[in-house]
Amino acid sequence: MSMEPQVFAPPKTKPLPGFQPKRYTLVRNVVLGGLTGVLLGGFLLDIPRINILEHTARNLYFHVPMWFTMMAAFAVSAYHGAGYLRTSDPVRDLRSAEAARVGLVFGVLGLVTGMLWARFTWYVGTGLWWNFDPKQTLAAISLLIYGAYFALRSSLEDPRKRARLASVYNLFAASTVPFLLYIIPRQLESLHPGADGNPAFSDITHPTMRFILYPAFIFFIGLFWVIYTQRVRLAWTQRQLDEDEAWEETW
Amino acid sequence: MEPLMYIQAVPADTTTASTPYDSVWAGTEEVPVKEPVGLERVMLQQDKIYVVLGVVLLIWIGLAYLLLRNDRRLKRLEEQLQAPD
């Protein structure tokens, strides 16, 4: 009886449905170049110097896009969450979770950059890092709501149940974002622009800053898309390896 | 109607609102300017440009965190696909 030499055959995995490598590479390169430009322009472009604000006005290019990126990410997450409920396609669940995860990181960055900015601009001499400003507090609450999304996910073993419940919760979480970040802070007294008694963005921002700010929105959201796509590809391949033959049965 | 939420009062200390480094302070000389202490001594220099540096560094740390997370995932995949000895 002859022994066949053992040949290692790695399990075959399918590529991520809908993934277009050429488009991904193009977007990635444009985003990397664009963000380099935003950094250069953000520091080099001359802006009018305002008392108290001084150079920290440049934080507008970095702090505000964090929140816009987070909202874009959470919108993508809710879209795929709703898509999962409609189609029961496991990829939609993966996309929903990864968009929320990357979005949460951007949200945390928005919060800590805001803390640093306020500490050395409006809270100079007070030593305050956190002042329970309504904008600050409600933004932190919206991050906690999304933190609970991941707590919910990790508490459920059955992938189908997890995907379904997480998608429903995701829709609830997304519906709170406009209220927590826009509607309620506008009714309250706050140091943050756009709140009650404070001018909104368009009244106080010098036109030249828009040449950097608007590209910053686009390229940071592009950066989200690149990282999110990487993570979905990884998660999709991982899921197939984990489940292997049991894949079809599980779903 | 009572407001739902009050902003917390910031302890009044207007004397440091303008720093010795402030380039456009239009006030008169009677305003006493307190020397900033601690971290503020660094952060308020050069018209507060170091605050911008701090913000950019925080974002860089966040992106580095995502990079490391992706790396960990990739490593797990590689280990699973490794040919047995």
Each residue's pLDDT tens digit, A198-215: 666 666 678 889 999 999
**What pLDDT is attached to residue A204?**
67
Average pLDDT, chain B: 76
ipTM of predicted complex = 0.89
**What pLDDT is attached to residue A247?**
47
Over 60: is that where the pLDDT of B75 sits? yes
Q: How far is Cα A69 from Cα A106, in angstroms, rounded to an integer?
A: 7
Q: How far is Cα B51 from Cα A116, in angstroms, rounded to an integer?
A: 7
Minimal Cβ distance to A121: which of B4, B48, B77 = B48
CB contact under 8 A, B77 and A241: yes
CA nearest A125 in B: which residue?
A: B16
Residue of higher predicted confidence among A230 and A124: A230
Distances in whole angstroms, Cα of residue A39 to Cα of each of A32, A33, A62, A143, B61: 11, 10, 9, 26, 15
CB contact under 8 A, A120 and B51: yes
C-alpha B45: how far from its chain's center?
Answer: 14
* Nearest alpha-carbon partner for A52 in A117, A113, A129, A109: A117
Q: How far is Cα B20 from Cα B2, in angstroms, rounded to an integer?
A: 41
Q: How far is Cα B3 from Cα A187, in angstroms, rounded to an integer?
A: 9
Distances in whole angstroms, Cα of residue A44 to Cα of each of A86, A216, B17: 48, 15, 26
Per DSSP, chain A holds a count of helices (H) and strands (E) of 9, 0
Structure tokens at A200: 């909104």
**What pLDDT is attached to residue B21?**
46
**What pLDDT is attached to residue A79?**
98
Q: For residue B81, which residues of chain A lie inside 8 Å, CB to CB?
A: 10-11, 241
Q: How far is Cα A120 from Cα A135, in angstroms, rounded to an integer?
A: 18
Q: How confident is the model at residue A12 (pLDDT cuts 50, 70, 90)?
A: confident
Q: What is the mean pLDDT of residues B38-56?
A: 90
Over 80: is that where the pLDDT of A118 sits? yes
Q: How confident is the model at residue A183 (pLDDT cuts 50, 70, 90)?
A: confident
**What pLDDT is attached to residue B33?**
63
Those of residues 71-130 in A touching chain B at CB distance below 8 A are 102, 105-106, 108-109, 112-113, 116-117, 120-126, 128
Q: How far is Cα A231 from Cα B73, in angstroms, rounded to an integer?
A: 8
How many other C-beta atoms lie within 10 A of the C-beta of residue A240? 15
Is this model's pTM higher than 0.90 or not? no
pLDDT single digits (tens) A140-167: 999 999 999 999 999 999 999 999 999 9
Coil, helix or strand for A189? strand
- Select, from the ranges A47-61, A72-86, B10-24, B34-48, the one with the highest average predicted confidence (pLDDT): A72-86
Average pLDDT, chain A: 90
Over 60: is that where the pLDDT of A191 sits? yes
Determine phi and psi for A23, rounding to 5 degrees.
-65, -40
* Nearest alpha-carbon partner for A102 in A219, A222, A228: A228
Q: How far is Cα A166 from Cα A84, in angstroms, rounded to an integer?
A: 10
